[in-house]
């Protein structure tokens, strides 16, 4: 049996981590075997890469280095976590995946789209999400929420420190992916109460799951 692969995408502070956790819990309560994971940092190797990516020391990371580290994280993540879980028939939910590369390194940094598609294909080894939830929110509100969650003690990471214009391009990048692949990518308005969004996501996911990953007996 093959499992079902779901990804969550969106700008900083749009609510991905919150909704990944909520969906995983709801699906487990329904009897599904769920693996919740994230990028970058879904493996031990990936956690090391995440530290370099989010808090680089010394000179700023070159754009190409940033991209290749994201892809190294993904290749390891697919081989070590995602592929085995899907082969075992589990529901895999990842906080960020290929679309983040298209939005951040493509629209944000300006790396050519076709190159990113080819490199993503290589890093994914053929594993692509069947369903992607894009939590859409204004940049201002996303950064406000991210700042509030971080509090006074945690430092701003490399991406959060980018300009509002950068995050605006990233948001447009995600919306462009959704427009190009409306069957896979579902846009959810994230400027609503948490419970309302969670319910909508769960209902959407259950309509997709039923034929693909039957509830275990």
Distance between CA 14 and CA 143 in Å, rounded? 8
Indicate whether 136 belongs to the interface with ligand T5A (CB under 6 A): no
Q: Site for ligand T5A (CB under 6 A): which residue of 75, 128, 145, 186?
A: 145
The Cα 111–Cα 106 span in angstroms is: 5
Residues in contact with ligand T5A, counted by CB under 6 A, come to a total of: 26
Q: How many residues comprise the chain? A: 217
Residue of the chain from 4, 5, 127, 159 that contacts ligand T5A (CB under 6 A): 159
- Give the shortest CB-25-to-ligand T5A separation in angstroms: 14
Interface with ligand T5A, residue 173, by CB under 6 A: no
Query: Contacting ligand T5A (CB under 6 A), which of 12, 42, 111, 187?
Result: 12
How far apart (Å, rounded) are the C-alpha atoms in residues 99 and 109?
14
Among candidate residues 27, 33, 40, the one with its CA nearest the CA of residue 105 = 40
Which is it for strands 91-95 and 131-136: parallel, antiparallel or unpaired? Answer: unpaired
Angle between helix 16-29 and 194-212 (nearest 10)? 50
User: Measured between alpha carbons, how far apart are the two ends of the chain, in Å?
Assistant: 14
In a 3-state reduction of DSSP, which class is residue 129? coil
Binding of residue 107 to ligand T5A (CB under 6 A): no
- Tell me which residues in 15-44 interact with ligand T5A (CB under 6 A): 15-18, 39-40
Residue nearer to ligand T5A on the CB measure, 145 or 208: 145
Instruction: Determine, following the binding rule CB under 6 A, whether residue 127 of this chain makes contact with ligand T5A.
Output: no
Phi, psi of 96 (to 5 degrees): 80, 145
Shortest CB 91 distance to ligand T5A, Å: 19
CB of 104 to ligand T5A, least distance (A): 3
Residues 175-204, one symbol each (x = binds ligand T5A by CB under 6 A, - = not), give ---------------x-x-x--x-------
With beta carbons less than 8 A apart as the criterion, state whether 67 and 105 touch: yes
* Interface positions with ligand T5A (CB under 6 A): 10, 12-18, 39-40, 54, 70, 96, 100-101, 104-105, 145-146, 148-149, 159, 190, 192, 194, 197
């Amino acid at each position: 049996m093959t499992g079902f692969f779901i990804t969550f995408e969106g700008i900083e502070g749009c609510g991905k981590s919150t909704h990944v956790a909520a969906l995983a819990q709801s699906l487990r309560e329904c009897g599904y075997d769920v693996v919740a994971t994230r990028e970058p940092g879904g493996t031990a190797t990936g956690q090391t890469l995440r530290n370099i990516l989010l808090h680089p020391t010394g000179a700023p990371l070159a754009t190409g280095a940033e991209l290749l580290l994201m892809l190294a994280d993904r290749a390891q993540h697919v081989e070590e976590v995602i592929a085995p879980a899907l082969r075992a028939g589990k529901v895999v939910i990842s906080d960020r995946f290929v679309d983040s590369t298209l939005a951040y390194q493509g629209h944000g940094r300006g790396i050519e789209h076709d190159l990113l598609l080819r490199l993503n294909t290589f890093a994914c080894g053929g594993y692509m999400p069947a369903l992607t939830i894009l939590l859409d929110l204004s940049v201002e509100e996303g950064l406000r929420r991210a700042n509030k969650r971080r509090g006074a003690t945690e430092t701003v990471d490399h991406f959060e420190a980018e300009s509002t214009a950068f995050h605006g391009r990233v948001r447009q990048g995600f919306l462009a992916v959704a427009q190009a692949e409306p069957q896979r990518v579902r846009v959810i308005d994230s400027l609503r109460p948490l419970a309302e969004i969670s319910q909508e996501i769960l209902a959407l996911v259950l309509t997709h799951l039923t034929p693909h990953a039957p509830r275990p007996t």
